[in-house]
């Protein structure tokens, strides 16, 4: 696997990270929570994440993600059993890390990792297994020891688990293809990315889907060079 220069910290290249993950599901809600309020909060986080990532100038993204991350973390405190909110808190912080870069990004991805692990402990199937996708992406994009916690073996395990849960998801396929490219397995990567382009559009996630497809096409063009 190619190791990124620390000063570049391409920790979350697309990101996500997450990346626009999965359709909302009642699986991300816990017993005593107000399901409607959690669903509305998730929708607002997803929409704002996509707006920041795909419409704001790059120089404005880090600060905007920081504010959105604070909002997401406040929601996880209000609804601590809602796995989906923990997933999105992690997604936002990991994307903020990619926008921030440098040594400051490492603390953000560690916080992101904790959010995904919390979500997996609450409900590993929440948002179609998005915590597996997100955590797998961190494991292959973050530098390994002694700088970070990157681990190729853990990356592949988590990404494969995500695919087992959501084999036709645009994000699970995209990050699997990106990982394969990092491993030099470009033939497999191209197939995964082509399948990602065929993913069913997600209602209410049009901006995120459009941005992700642009990233997929860009990566495919790199494979063709």
**R_g (Cα) of the chain, nearest Å:** 16
| pLDDT over threshold 70, residue 12 | no
Task: Quickly state the pLDDT bin for 1 (edges 50, 70, 90).
Answer: very low
Task: Pick the closest to residue 16 from 161, 116, 124 (CA basis).
Answer: 116
* Digit-coded pLDDT (tens) for 142-198: 999 999 999 999 999 999 999 999 999 999 999 999 999 999 999 999 999 999 999
So what's the pLDDT on residue 4? 38
Regarding predicted confidence, which is higher, 75 or 9?
75
182-194 exposure pattern, b = at least 16 Cβ within 10 A, e = fewer: bbeeeeebbebbe
Q: Distance between CA 86 and CA 124 in Å, rounded?
A: 12
Model's pTM, two decimal places? Answer: 0.86
Query: For residue 146, what are the CA distances in angstroms to 1, 11, 101, 142, 153?
Result: 16, 16, 18, 11, 17
Regarding predicted confidence, which is higher, 199 or 7?
199
So what's the pLDDT on residue 34? 83
Going by CATH, does the domain composed of 26-224 fall within 1.25.40.920?
yes
* Digit-coded pLDDT (tens) for 67-126: 999 999 999 999 999 999 999 999 999 999 999 998 889 999 999 999 999 999 999 999
Task: Quickly state the pLDDT bin for 24 (edges 50, 70, 90).
Answer: very low
């Amino acid at each position: 696997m190619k190791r990124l220069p620390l000063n570049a910290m391409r920790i979350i290249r697309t990101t996500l990270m997450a990346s626009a993950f999965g359709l909302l599901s009642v699986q991300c809600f816990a017993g005593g929570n107000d399901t409607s309020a959690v669903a509305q909060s998730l929708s607002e986080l997803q929409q704002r994440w996509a707006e920041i990532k795909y419409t704001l100038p790059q120089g404005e993204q880090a600060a905007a993600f920081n504010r959105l991350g604070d909002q997401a973390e406040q929601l996880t405190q209000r609804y601590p059993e809602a796995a989906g909110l923990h997933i999105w808190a992690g997604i936002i912080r990991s994307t903020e890390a990619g926008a921030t870069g440098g040594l400051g990004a490492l603390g953000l991805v560690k916080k992101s990792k904790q959010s995904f692990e919390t979500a997996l402990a609450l409900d590993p199937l929440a948002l179609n297994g998005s915590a597996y996708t997100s955590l797998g992406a961190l494991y292959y994009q973050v530098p390994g020891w002694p700088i970070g916690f990157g681990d190729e073996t853990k990356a592949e395990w988590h990404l494969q688990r995500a695919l087992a849960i959501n084999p036709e998801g645009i994000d699970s396929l995209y990050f699997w293809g990106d990982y394969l490219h990092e491993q030099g397995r470009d033939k497999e990567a191209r197939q995964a990315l082509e399948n990602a382009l065929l993913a069913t559009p997600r209602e209410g996630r049009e901006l995120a889907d459009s941005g992700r497809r642009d990233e997929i096409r860009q990566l495919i063009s790199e494979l063709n060079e």
